[in-house]
Amino acid sequence: MPNDTAAARQGIFRIDPDRLALVPLELDPMDFQSPLPVQNYYLIYEDPAIGLAVGIWDTTTMQEAFGPYPGDEFITVLEGSFAIINGMGGAVTGSPGQSATFRNGIPVSWKQEGYLRKIYLTLIPPDLDPPQIASAAGGVKILPEDPSRPRGGEETLFQNDAGTMTVRLRGYAETTIPAAPTQMHELCRILTGEMILTDAAGQAHRFGPGDHAFVPAGTIVARDMRADTAAYHVTVTA
Looking at residue 96, its pLDDT comes to 97
Class of domain 154-237: mainly beta
Domain range list for the chain: 4-142, 154-237
Q: What radius of gyration do the chain's Cα atoms show?
A: 18
**SS3 state of residue 68:** strand
Looking at residue 61, its pLDDT comes to 98
4-142 is classed CATH 1.10.290.10: no
Looking at residue 129, its pLDDT comes to 80
- How many CB atoms lie under 10 A from the CB of residue 122? 21
**SS3 state of residue 143:** coil
Across the 238 residues of the chain, what is the mean pLDDT of every consecutive 10-residue run? 54 94 97 98 96 98 96 98 91 97 96 97 89 91 80 86 96 93 97 96 97 97 94 94
Looking at residue 147, its pLDDT comes to 66
List of E strands, 16-152: 23-24, 39-47, 52-59, 62-63, 67-68, 72-79, 82-86, 91-94, 99-102, 107-112, 116-123, 140-142
Q: Pinpoint the alpha helices (H) of 117-206.
A: none
Say whether 154-237 and 4-142 share the same fold: yes
